[in-house]
Amino acid sequence: MRLRNFLTLICAGALLTSAAPVKNKPSANRRAKAVLTTPEVAPVDIICFALYTVSDGTLKLTAQLYPIPDGETHTVRLEIMQGRKWVEVAKTKVINPGWTAPFRVEDWNDSMAQRYRVRHGSTATYEGTIRRNPTDQDELIVAGFTGNSIQPSHGGDISRQDIIDNVKRVDADVLFFSGDQVYDHFKHYAAWLKFGRDFGEIIKDRPTICLPDDHDAGQPNLWGESGKISTLSGASDGGYSRPGVYVQEVERAQTSHLPDPVDPHKIGQGIGVWFTNLNWGGIDFAILEDRKFKTGPAGRVPKQGPRPDHIRNPEYDPASVDVDGAVLLGDRQLKFIDNWAQDWQDADMKVALSATIFTGGAHIHGDANGRLHADMDSNGWPQAGRNRALGSLRKAFAFHLAGDQHLATIFQHGVDEHRDAIWSFCVPSIANLYLRWWEPLEEGLNREAGSLAYTGDYLDGFANKVTNFAAANPEKKPSGKLLNTRAAGYGIVRINTQTRLITMECWPRNVDITDADSEQYPGWPRTISQFDNYNPPSWGQLGELSFAVEDPVVQLIDAETDEILYTVRASGKSFTPGAPSGRAFTVKAGKDSPDTVVVKSARVGSAPQRVKLN
């Protein structure tokens, strides 16, 4: 056996045994230490919490258990209330390490809400509600979170009750945790149980999407590089610092309730993938893994600072780090996005979810003097991979929701020109230790009247085109010592499938967001149209198309190259396609898919047409 493999097995064993329960239940005055241990519970309380999604008629639910004592059954049952009786619909075996119980129920009727309960043994039950698919609801509300630090060194166990209360007040339809649900790098299981105790009250009754990010996987930054083993401190050489079995346990706990991955082939160390889509309430969510395939920078790009991933030299050539072979999303995910962008079955709008945004979204890191020119941990690098991702996502007019940056921002991205691609909302951290600021050295171009000097058109540290519309910068000397007072908070996104409007809200902690006197961070709320996600300033318009059916799917194809420029569901019975000048286009359309050619050789300025569909 090779030395590395032998050491990996030893480390894996140590990590697995670290999840053993402790004898004494932690008291209130030991909360800070409780995150590092697994409390012993009575058999009646052995089910900690449960997460679920429903998509395309399949319910997937994962129950998270405390350690099962020796001699007790490892079978867990799922029941739903039918009439006045509980009826078993599935049972499964608990998977250890991690003590997860994943259920799958096909042919799920999502047109009605159903009470469920998870059962273990003769006494343990955990109840919640599987919501009905809100397809008749004009507005879908998504609550977005990131950065759930509970480490003692980060301030300890600060109550999340204000978040729980506000999610209930707005009755959010979907919960999105974009990463760093867990900050303990060695005992994910114990910290994940704490996450469940904090958020289980709202998770049990709502579809929930969790994306494990770097701290969840047990490292400060993550360039997954298809599962290789990282050997450098900080993991900038790419790959995973923790053993593959540890990463598998993390991802099983956080993602096994997601819809099936579209391409389930595993990567290195037996690590799975979970990129997929969730169709709910007429919104088609692409769930992306923007860290798993990404290339590590160490040894591949010229070093421009004390760390391989930090560029301190503002005079460097950005093209020098956009090296051949550097990967961001990878071919498998890009293929998925391209197919997803064209599939509008049961979907009115598209939203992309990932760990972080496609730009270097901050200039100052850590403290007020920590100016960093460019950060390769951001999705602004590699630039070619960033542009390829945006080029695919804008073909679906997809809005982008993400986190990770410890700084809430709104950007519109550009590829060939400013503002020619999608909008992104990066939500603030629930608890904020590592502060960041969007503070460019020059005023932005083409700012809106009355807007702050740091808004407008910019090039980020990698020379990517970005337009900033808002940034929830913390105070330079934060007055609050608690992490929930340092530009901390969460996002609420209201997506209206009738008006096709998307409203972004950014809320601080410790306020009642339904109170008219409560204020959001400066720059929010902001409302955009679905169609703003691909409306380049240089484009013109083809002639208006009129249809006999409501909301057809329209596709624009370059008549010379056969390139699909975009596919989108129109709003109402008319649609005016945007397009670049000097080129001819074929327009396809259909009720649920673009299966009929309705216009040939359309050009900017062409006459309006009334078209027929088969």
Please report the DSSP string for 551-582 in residue order.
Answer: S-EEEEEETTT--EEEEEE-SSSEE--EE-TT
In order, the DSSP letters of 376-400 are TTSTT-SHHHHHHHHHHHGGGT-EE
Distances (CA, A) of 403 to 355, 426, 427: 6, 5, 5
Please give the average per-residue pLDDT across 425-439, as a whole number.
93
Based on the fold, state whether residues 154 and 263 are members of the same structural domain: yes
What is the pLDDT confidence band of residue 485, given thresholds at 50, 70 and 90?
Answer: confident
In order, the DSSP letters of 102-121 are EEEESS--TTS-EEEEEEET
In this predicted structure, what is the pLDDT of residue 491? Answer: 98
DSSP state of 179: S
Q: For residue 42, what are the contacts with CB-CB under 8 A and spacing of at least 6?
A: none
Based on the fold, state whether residues 567 and 515 are members of the same structural domain: no
In the listed set 534, 568, 583, which residue is the last one of a domain according to the structure? 534
The answer as to whether 150 is a domain residue is: yes
Based on the fold, state whether residues 207 and 312 are members of the same structural domain: yes
Based on the fold, state whether residues 359 and 471 are members of the same structural domain: yes
The answer as to whether 206 is a domain residue is: yes
In this predicted structure, what is the pLDDT of residue 150? Answer: 73
In this predicted structure, what is the pLDDT of residue 59? Answer: 98
The answer as to whether 41 is a domain residue is: no
In the listed set 534, 569, 602, which residue is the last one of a domain according to the structure? 534
Based on the fold, state whether residues 546 and 605 are members of the same structural domain: yes
The answer as to whether 587 is a domain residue is: yes
Domain span at residue 413 reads 139-534
DSSP state of 611: -
The answer as to whether 273 is a domain residue is: yes
Mean residue pLDDT of the chain comes to: 92
Please give the average per-residue pLDDT across 564-591, as a whole number.
97
Please give the average per-residue pLDDT across 424-448, as a whole number.
95
Based on the fold, state whether residues 471 and 562 are members of the same structural domain: no
Based on the fold, state whether residues 225 and 373 are members of the same structural domain: yes
Q: Output the domain CATH number for residue 154.
A: 3.60.21.70
Q: For residue 129, what are the contacts with CB-CB under 8 A and spacing of at least 6?
A: 113, 114, 115, 116, 204, 205
Q: How far apart are CA 280 and CA 347, in angstroms?
A: 8
Statement: residue 20 has pLDDT above 90: no
Count of domains for the chain: 2
Spacing of C-alpha 259 from chain mean position: 14
Based on the fold, state whether residues 452 and 576 are members of the same structural domain: no
Based on the fold, state whether residues 202 and 309 are members of the same structural domain: yes
In this predicted structure, what is the pLDDT of residue 27? Answer: 34
In the listed set 483, 502, 534, which residue is the last one of a domain according to the structure? 534
Based on the fold, state whether residues 451 and 568 are members of the same structural domain: no
The answer as to whether 52 is a domain residue is: no
Based on the fold, state whether residues 444 and 530 are members of the same structural domain: yes
Please give the average per-residue pLDDT across 10-37, as a whole number.
38
Tell me the sheet residues that pair with 589.
554, 596
End-to-end CA distance of the chain: 65
The answer as to whether 79 is a domain residue is: no
Statement: residue 14 has pLDDT above 50: no
Tell me the per-residue pLDDT of 207-245, one tens digit each, with 9 for 90 and over. Answer: 999 999 999 999 999 999 999 999 999 999 999 999 999
Please give the average per-residue pLDDT across 304-316, as a whole number.
91
Q: By mean pLDDT, which of 28-42, 71-85, 477-491 is the weakest?
A: 28-42
What is the pLDDT confidence band of residue 24, given thresholds at 50, 70 and 90?
Answer: very low
Whole-structure pTM value: 0.93
Based on the fold, state whether residues 333 and 434 are members of the same structural domain: yes
The answer as to whether 330 is a domain residue is: yes
In this predicted structure, what is the pLDDT of residue 463? Answer: 98
Percent of the chain with pLDDT over 90: 87
